Structure 1
C-alpha cells in the first residue's frame, strides 16, 4: 500500500500543479491587476458619429490603462458623440478624443471658428457659456437706443458704455423679442471669454456668479453665416444673442 501511494502521490501533485497552472493561465492571469477599458473596435474618422459597433470593452493591465480613460460603465458617454480626431482601431478612448459638444468645425462643410466683434453685438446673456446653442436676432438702428434704455433699467449690472453690448437675462429676452424671428438658429457657441482672453465659466466659489464678464464671443460658422451677419451689421443692425439651451455635461469627464 505504501509503495502504491509513493507512486500515486507524485502523480496527484503533478495533476494538481498542472490544474493550478491551467486555471491561472486561462482564468486568473487576465483578471489579476487588470481593468476594463473602452477601445475603438474599428477605425473612426474625424467627426464620425460613434456607434455601439465602433467600440468594445477590453481588459488591459492597470499600468497600461490611460489615466482618465473611459471604462465599461461609460459607453453612454461615447455612443452618438463625434470623434475629435481620426481614431485608430485598438485605441483606448478618453475624453479628449470625443467632440462631446460638436464644437470642432467640420472643414469639409466649410465650417470654422469665427469671432464676433463687439461692434456687431447689441446684447449677450451674462449666463451664456461655451457649448451653448444660441439664436441670433437683429435689432435695427432705430430701436437700439430704446431697447438699451429698457435693458439698462431692468438689470442691476447694466452696461453703461454706449458702444458695448448690454448683458441680459431670459426674462428680458422673452419680453423684447416676442414679436421677432431669429436670422440664425442653432448657432454653436465655441467660446465666451473675458477681456483677458480667459474662458468665462461658472464661479464654483460664489453662487450664481461667473469667473468674468463676457467680452469675446466665438461661434462655429461658415461663409454663408458670416456673410449674412456682416450684411446686416453693415446696414446698421446689431445682433441680439439668446441661448436656447445648455449642453449636457455628461460627456465631459475631465
Structure 2
C-alpha cells in the first residue's frame, strides 16, 4: 500500500473512532449496560397493604449496577399487579419481590388487623409442622373435654396419652371452627426463636416439615380486633383451649 493511502486510511479510521465514541457513550453503552424494570411512577406513592395497580407503575431502563436482588423486570410486571405492597413504595423506586406482600403477612390497619399472639397456655394441640406463612383453622376444645382428658391422662402411659389427646381433639374438630384462614406470621419455640425446617438433617425421603429446629410453643398470627376478641373470650371467659390445624 502506498504511503499516501496508508496516511489517508489512518486519518479516516481516527475520524470514525472519534465520531463513534460519543455515539457509543450516549446511545449504545446505556443500552448494553441497562435493563427494563418496573418502577413506581414519579409523584406517586403506594402505601403498605395498598393494592399495587398498573396506573401507578411504569417501565424504565435502569443501569444493571443499580438493580437490587429480586428486581421486577418489565416482562414480569403482572407478578406484582393486584398484590399488596409490603412497605411504602415511593415515586421512581425500583420494585423488587421483597417489597411485595405475596403471602399477606402485613396486617391491614384499616381493617383493624394486627399481629396477635397465641401462647402455649392457650393451645390444647397443634401440628409440630406448622410454619411461618401457613394458613390455620382454629377449633375449640371445651373445658369438659379438657377435664376428661386430664383425668384419663393421669393414669395413662405416654403413648396411650398421645392417643387419648388425639381422640379428644378429633372430637372437637367435628364442630365448626372458631376462626378459619388465619395467617401465621411466626411459629416460635419457648426461647422466642422462630421454628423452621432443619434442612441439614432432612433426608431425601423425608417430608421437609418433619425436621424442625425446635418445638413450637407460641404462634403469632394476623387477626382483626373482632376475631381477636372472639378468641380471647373463648379462652379466658369460657376457659376453652385451642386445637389448631393448618391448610
State the TM-score, normalizing by the size of structure 2.
0.75
**Distance apart, 1:81 and its partner CA:** 2.0
Aligned to 1:192: 187
Does the CA-based 8 Å contact 1:46-1:87 persist in structure 2? yes
Q: Choose the corresponding residue for 1:205, options 191, 200, 204.
A: 200
Distance 1:147 1:98 in 2: 45
Aligned pairs (5 A) from 1:75-86: 75-86=77-88
Q: Choose the corresponding residue for 1:236, options 231, 236, 239.
A: 239
Stretches of structure 1 lacking an aligned partner (at least 5 in a row): 160-165, 245-254
Is 1:20 aligned to 2:20, yes or no? yes
Distance 1:58 1:226 in 2: 44
- SS of the aligned residue for 2:115 comes to strand
Aligned pairs (5 A) from 1:25-40: 27-40=27-40
Distance 2:240 2:80 in 1: 41
- SS of the aligned residue for 1:182 comes to coil
Aligned to 1:120: 122
**Distance apart, 1:181 and its partner CA:** 0.9
Distance 1:117 1:95 in 2: 31
- SS of the aligned residue for 1:70 comes to coil
State the TM-score, normalizing by the size of structure 1.
0.73
Moved more, 139-148 or 124-133: 139-148
Stretches of structure 2 lacking an aligned partner (at least 5 in a row): 203-209
Distance 1:227 1:90 in 2: 41
Aligned to 1:179: 174
Distance 1:174 1:52 in 2: 47
Aligned to 2:220: 218
Does the CA-based 8 Å contact 1:35-1:65 persist in structure 2? no
**Distance apart, 1:155 and its partner CA:** 7.2
Does the CA-based 8 Å contact 1:48-1:82 persist in structure 2? yes
Over the residues paired in the alignment, what is the CA RMSD in angstroms? 3.8
More helix by proportion, 1 or 2? 2
Distance 1:114 1:178 in 2: 23
Distance 1:157 1:13 in 2: 90
Aligned residue pair count: 232
Distance 1:157 1:91 in 2: 57
Residues 122 and 178 (structure 1 numbering): CA distance in 2 closer, same or farther, change over 3 Å? Answer: closer
